[in-house]
């Protein structure tokens, strides 16, 4: 089975070697322009390569069960008010700062609205700690600190112990004095305001999407966020998921200790897509192998090939069949969300509603709860014994943090249960800073999609709760169970 590794990265060889040790063939295409056509679905992608793409002098066709993208976005650092910050990833500049002696502090600035990238956080914490151990006065300024999971918690604690000062800010102002070659920083955490003068600002905020990265996203039909990235780089994504099933992402900056984790997760997904039985030691339910999921069906006689579904599908499941001049649905990528059917002007798309098991029928009369272990799960333990017969209508799953509750998890549960609710921490009480807010955004996104498809958006809700609010949770659950049919 072939795996295509696509992009320019120093980890290409490492990935190819590790995949081959696991029994897979891997081939590398560094230049996206060499790919002339790309279509198919997870388990069977078809790639037309231009001359010289893999060493031969002629064009050729190849197949791949999966695609690994390794291209990293560019790192051009913009000037701050005329002053040039040091890029976090420039090792020579960091060594020069480490060996210097200055009365001014060294400032790390990770200025991200939601969360700093995985590899950048690890790199910044390592470098900040190393400078502090060399007796530099180090100040780490951030709007969001990714601290969930290994190795972030331990690195954060080690940096604090070494003497790094951390400032989580609400407002930030930076000016550059060209005559004195100094950055003037005014930062406030909402209570205290601090003025900092420094010669060295080490930043990662200059990441931008360059031509090669953007070309890969376009060629593989990957959805990107507002900044142009194909992967949110969140710890709960393992860190490989993209919008298209069968296409995975390993940034060139992926932390070394996460490559093996990502490979294990990727292979499990590939093997599930192509129907390979579980490896030794893993249990497989025989009924699960042949179970059918809901998916969209395109009526070729009604399809006018207008590309409305292609543009609207959030899962990259719709793909054009140029020869037949009709859209078709890639079943393995389809999540049966109904958006394609809602936007189709010819009513050519329907969603199957097969009830594939008695188990599913039983679950349609229940609600699924995803509970943060620090808040909702604790309160729920007190609530269930007091709910009587209604407790039998609740299936609960405990998670380490609300931030692990993703869109696919919520939508997948809704395909089996009548309703879904996420129980997360109150604002500003989340152990991981804003895991609860991430869960809220995912639930809001799913509710909006349901409403677009003509389905009750109230089937998905979020309850912000503390471990001590059992009475509030009980009232909320009773109302949730009684509102409409579950």
- How distant is the alpha carbon of residue 304 from its chain centre? 34
Is residue 132 within 8 Å of 163, Cβ to Cβ?
yes
Structural element, H or E, at residue 267: helix 256-274
| Structural domains of the chain in order of their starting residue, each with its CATH number | 2-72+209-274 (3.50.50.60), 86-203 (3.50.50.60), 296-351 (3.30.70.20), 357-482 (3.40.50)
Residues in the chain: 486
By the 8 A CB rule, do 51 and 58 touch?
Answer: yes
**Rounded Cα distance, 329 and 310, in Å:** 9
Residue 280 confidence (pLDDT)? 39
Return d(Cα 330, Cα 416) in angstroms, integer: 21
Q: In angstroms, rounded to a whole number, what is the distance separating the alpha carbons of residues 107 and 165? A: 10
pLDDT computed for residue 278 by the predictor: 43
- Nearest CA among 422, 480, 465 for reference residue 446: 422
Six-digit token pair at 384? 């269930």
Q: What is the pLDDT, as a whole number, of residue 113? A: 47
Count CB-CB contacts under 10 A for residue 358: 8
Alpha helices in 305-434 (DSSP H): 308-312, 339-343, 358-363, 376-383, 407-414
Nearest in space to 73 (alpha carbons), one of 54, 51, 56, 89: 89
User: Model-level pTM?
Assistant: 0.47
Cα separation, 141 vs 136, in Å, equals 16
Residues near 325 by Cβ (< 8 Å), separated by ≥ 6?
Answer: 305
User: The tokens 């995912």 sit on which residue?
Assistant: 442
Instruction: Please check whether residue 231 is in contact with residue 242, taking contact to mean a CB–CB distance below 8 angstroms.
Output: yes
Decide: 480 and 422 in contact? Cβ < 8 Å: no
Alpha-carbon span 465 to 482, nearest angstrom = 20
Q: Which residues contact 36 (CB under 8 A, 6 or more apart)?
A: 48, 49, 50, 59
CA distance 218 to 92: 34
- The pLDDT score that the predictor gives to residue 49 is 86
**Per-residue model confidence (pLDDT) at position 283:** 40
pLDDT on residue 10:
81
Q: How far is residue 390's CA from residue 369's CA, in Å, rounded to a whole number?
A: 14
Question: Residue 292, class by beta-carbon neighbours within 10 Å (0-12 exposed, 13-18 middle, 19+ buried)?
Answer: exposed
| Per-residue tokens: 216 | 């890969």
Sequential pLDDT tens for the chain (486 residues): 789 999 888 888 888 888 888 888 899 998 888 888 888 877 788 888 887 666 666 778 888 888 999 887 765 566 777 788 888 877 788 889 998 888 899 999 886 644 566 667 888 899 999 999 999 999 999 877 655 455 567 888 899 999 999 998 888 888 999 899 999 999 988 888 999 999 999 987 555 666 788 888 888 888 777 667 777 655 445 557 787 888 888 876 555 556 777 777 777 777 766 655 444 334 434 333 334 467 888 988 889 999 899 888 877 778 887 767 888 887 766 778 888 988 999 899 988 754 444 445 557 678 999 999 889 999 999 999 988 889 999 999 988 888 778 777 788 788 788 899 999 999 878 766 677 888 888 888 888 877 876 778 899 999 999 988 999 999 999 999 887 555
DSSP string, 359-389: HHHHHTTSEEEEEETTTHHHHHHHHGGGSGG
Which pLDDT score, from 0 to 100, does residue 288 have? 39
Q: d(Cα 332, Cα 456) in Å, to the nearest integer? A: 25
Query: Residue 143 has what pLDDT?
Result: 78
Token pair 């000016």 in the structure block, residue: 175
Indicate the SS3 state at residue 466. Answer: coil
Q: Quick one: CA dihedral 416, 293, 274, 247, positive or negative?
A: negative
Task: Determine how many CB atoms are found less than 10 A away from the CB of residue 143.
Answer: 18
Please give the pLDDT value at position 292. Answer: 47
């Amino acid at each position: 089975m072939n795996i295509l590794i696509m992009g320019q990265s120093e980890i290409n060889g490492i990935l190819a070697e590790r995949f081959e040790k696991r029994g897979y063939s891997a081939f590398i295409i560094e230049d996206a322009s060499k790919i002339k056509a790309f279509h198919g679905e997870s388990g069977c992608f078809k790639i037309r390569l231009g001359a010289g793409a893999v060493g031969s002098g002629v064009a050729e066709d190849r197949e791949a069960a999966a695609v690994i993208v390794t291209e990293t976005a560019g790192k051009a650092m913009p000037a701050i008010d005329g002053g040039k910050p040091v890029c976090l990833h420039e090792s020579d500049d960091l060594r020069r700062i480490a060996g210097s002696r200055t009365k001014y502090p060294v400032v790390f600035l990770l200025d991200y609205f939601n969360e700093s990238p995985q590899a950048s956080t690890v790199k910044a914490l390592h470098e900040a700690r190393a400078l502090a151990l060399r007796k530099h006065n180090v100040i780490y300024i951030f709007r969001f600190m990714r601290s969930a999971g290994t190795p972030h918690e331990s690195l954060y604690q080690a940096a604090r112990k070494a003497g790094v000062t951390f400032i989580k800010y609400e407002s930030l102002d930076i000016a550059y004095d060209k005559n004195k070659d100094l950055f003037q920083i005014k930062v406030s955490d909402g209570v205290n305001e601090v003025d900092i003068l420094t010669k060295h600002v080490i930043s990662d905020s200059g990441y931008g999407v360059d031509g090669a990265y953007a070309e890969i996203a376009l060629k593989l039909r990957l959805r990107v966020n507002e900044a142009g990235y194909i992967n949110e780089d969140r710890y709960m994504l393992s860190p490989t998921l993209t919008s298209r099933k069968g296409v995975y992402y390993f940034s060139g900056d992926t932390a070394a200790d996460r490559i093996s984790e990502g490979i294990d997760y990727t292979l499990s997904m590939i093997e599930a897509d192509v129907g390979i039985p579980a490896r030794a030691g893993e249990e497989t339910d025989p009924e699960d192998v042949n179970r059918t999921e809901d998916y969209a069906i395109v009526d070729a006689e009604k399809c006018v090939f207008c590309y409305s579904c292609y543009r609207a599908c959030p899962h990259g499941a719709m793909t054009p069949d140029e020869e037949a001049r009709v859209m078709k649905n890639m079943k393995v990528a389809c999540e049966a969300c109904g958006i394609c059917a809602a936007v189709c002007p010819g009513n050519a798309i329907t969603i199957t509603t097969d009830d594939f098991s008695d188990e599913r029928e039983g679950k349609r009369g229940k609600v699924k709860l995803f509970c943060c272990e620090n808040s909702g799960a604790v309160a729920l333990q007190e609530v269930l014994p007091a709910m009587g017969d209604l407790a039998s209508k609740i299936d609960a799953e405990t998670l380490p943090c609300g931030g692990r509750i993703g869109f696919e998890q919520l939508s997948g549960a809704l395909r089996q249960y009548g309703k879904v609710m996420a129980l997360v921490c109150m604002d500003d009480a989340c152990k991981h800073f804003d895991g609860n807010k991430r869960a809220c955004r995912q639930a809001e996104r799913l509710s909006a999609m349901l409403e677009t498809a003509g389905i009750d958006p109230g089937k998905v809700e979020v309850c912000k709760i503390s471990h001590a609010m059992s009475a509030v949770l009980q009232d909320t659950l009773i109302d949730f169970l009684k509102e409409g049919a579950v």
